[in-house]
Amino acid sequence: MRVLVLNGPNLGRLGTREPDVYGSATHDDLVALCTSTGEQLGLDVEVRQTDHEGEMVGWLHEATDLGAAVVLNAGAWTHYSIAVRDAAAQLRGPLVELHISNVHRRESFRHHSVLSDIATGVLAGFGVDGYRLALEWLAKQP
């Protein structure tokens, strides 16, 4: 199974951005975790990060064309980007919406997601380990 792990704005700053909220793991650590987990599970995993909404939309279109599964941490776009939602709604493979922090224990504007109703599943609050959990779940899908 091909899996694109797509990370949105500010996630390239992991390890330095609010470590009390997001932990000390860097984006490079996250890439290594996803890559090694994917290898162990027999998944073809590619991890990407962008701060540009149009680039994310293009990646979601690519995933649709490939029939790939997607683990999506859309960051702030989760709460307002109809463009990202519309692109994600086209996916033919499973979509896992992922948040490193528990967004429901944070500011009220983070409690709403424009993605959750189209996601196959949602993981929040497990730190970067949520990526491993998402990949393990995807590996069990037919």
Binding residue positions for substrate: 73, 79, 86, 100-101, 110
DSSP letter at 11 equals G
Q: 39 with 31: CB under 8 angstroms? A: no
Catalytic residue among 52, 61, 80, 99: 99
DSSP letters for 68-120: -EEEEE-GGGGGT-HHHHHHHTT-SS-EEEEESS-GGGS-GGGG--SSTTT-S
Residue 22 half-sphere exposure toward CB, CA atoms < 13 A: 19
Annotated binding-site residues read: 73, 79, 86, 100-101, 110
Told to judge if 99 belongs to the known catalytic residues of this protein, a careful annotator would answer yes
Catalytic position from the list 22, 61, 111, 131: 22
28 contact partners, CB below 8 Å, separation of at least 6: none
Is 112 annotated in the active site? Answer: no
- State the first-to-last Cα distance of the chain, in angstroms, to the nearest integer: 9
Any idea which residues carry the catalytic annotation? 22, 99
